[in-house]
Structure 1
Amino acid sequence: MSPSEDDLKQWESKSFEGETQYMLERDSDGASFLRAISNASASGLFLKQDIDINEFPYLNWEWRSDKSLAALDEQSKSGDDYVARMYVVVDGGLFFWNTIALNYVWSSSATSKDAWPNAFAGDNAQMVPVKNASSASGTWYTEKRNLKEDFKAFFGKGISRIDAIAIMTDTDNSKQDAQASYRNIYFSKN
């Protein structure tokens, strides 16, 4: 499912403001990864896939910041930009207002692990800082999140299925430049 597995065909691009460039590259060991370059733009790559998180509750991924953002007020619309995001979406279907999303973010300013509502989507999208400005640029970090626990903690809901995941590097509101890399995205039982 990882876009770094040489196949982006299943991933759909969604533009909010301009186009973030997403390109497959290889590191010195020959392993592929997805590089994202945002120049005052915001677009993401979405993968619609029904995942039973009772069976596979963990989302795993690796990411790195290659060019960070200056500190922003990320709880405001003008500061709603992140060098890297990993979305997990539960689709509300015809009742679009019931769609909820966890946004695991590489924050430019958060100093705690406290989540906050997205500046545009409100309480339906919770921003969860996983890394911040003190995390070293150019270093790969491995993440593992228990989605069942996080949906319960941040939405108060017992979720059993998710409908999509997405990655996004965006700088449309702050008009800055940022670069990030993503790889090894997968779900696991433990």
Structure 2
Amino acid sequence: MRTITGPVIWLFLAITPLVAPHLLAQGASLPAFSKMASLSDGWEPLEFPKIKRHSRYELVHEDGSQVVKAHTSGGASGLITRMNIEPEGSLLLRWRWKVSNVYENGDAREKSGDDYPARIYVAFEFEPEKAGFFERAKRKTVEVLFGEELPGNALNYIWANTLPEGTFIANPYTEKTMMIAVNSGSERAGEWVSIERDIVADYRKAFGENPPPIRGIAVMSDSDNTGEQANAWYGDIVLAPTNTD
């Protein structure tokens, strides 16, 4: 695994190698937390060498199922699984999660508040024909330096602090990532919440066009900007076309 130095979540996926991608058929689960013997069974850690504190991830049994528990206390890191999926028509992303609390100083509109007790990140393939000259040149420089392919736009589903549920807002670090508040506030903290999102519809709303192939999905609980702490629990994450029960 190659580590990176930036503090921004989109950089996790931007300069982590996309070699040997996990190919996933529509209608199947991502590597299921409930069936893993270890977190390395289909997921990889993502860590910042310049951030001293990393979020901790472990397999635990919670309410009768094996899930991933995350703990973050002034740090940042995540887990990622790689893939190459063409999202045709409609493609649903389903998961359930639980958080212990939200952050008092969390604010999706500010770099200083860009922390979330739980988030799920969907990264898409870069489309060079739609990029300007300077963006292509910058990306080519990074690829030469790191020997890796960079993904393009991303959707970031978050458990927000005060941002109203359903809000779409550009990440304060980059407009290439659109933040979507699927939960907000502490009212449902401490209980499992099930989420279902149409990735294709969300991408169209966020970027005004159909999505390119999906190249990776990550989970992350971070608090490096706010310095606060939280626990989060992630259940299995499933991708399915709309005609699949």
Greater percentage in strand: 1
Aligned partner of 1:5 in structure 2 is 35
Contact 2:106 2:116 in 1 (8 A): no
Aligned partner of 2:74 in structure 1 is 40
Identity of aligned residues (%): 28
Contact 1:59 1:147 in 2 (8 A): yes
Aligned counterparts of 1:69 and 1:45: Cα–Cα separation in 2: 21
Aligned partner of 1:166 in structure 2 is 218
Which moves more between the two structures, 107-116 or 123-132? 107-116
Specify the SS of the correspondent of 2:203. helix
Greater percentage in helix: 2
Unpaired runs of 5+ residues, structure 2, are 1-29, 129-135, 140-149
Q: Quick check: which has more Rg, 1 or 2? A: 2
Aligned counterparts of 2:102 and 2:184: Cα–Cα separation in 1: 10
Contact 1:51 1:162 in 2 (8 A): yes
Specify the SS of the correspondent of 2:158. strand
One-letter amino acid of the counterpart of residue 39, structure 2: L
Matches within 5 A, 1:124-139: 124-139=176-191
Unpaired runs of 5+ residues, structure 1, are none
> CA 1:12–1:156 in structure 2 vs 1: closer, same or farther (change >3 Å)?
same
* Deviation sequence 1:3-25 (CA, Å, 0-9, x none): 34324222111123331000000
Aligned counterparts of 1:4 and 1:56: Cα–Cα separation in 2: 26
What is the CA RMSD across the aligned residues, in angstroms?
A: 2.0
* Deviation sequence 1:113-146 (CA, Å, 0-9, x none): 22111122x2100010000114411111111110
Aligned partner of 1:153 in structure 2 is 205
**What TM-score does the superposition give when structure 1 sets the normalisation length?**
0.90
Aligned counterparts of 2:236 and 2:90: Cα–Cα separation in 1: 16
Residue 67 of structure 1, CA deviation = 3.2
Match of 1:105 among 145, 158, 162: 158
Does 1:73 pair with 2:103?
no
Which moves more between the two structures, 139-148 or 7-16? 7-16
Q: Give the number of aligned pairs.
A: 188
Does 1:176 pair with 2:228?
yes
Aligned partner of 1:92 in structure 2 is 126
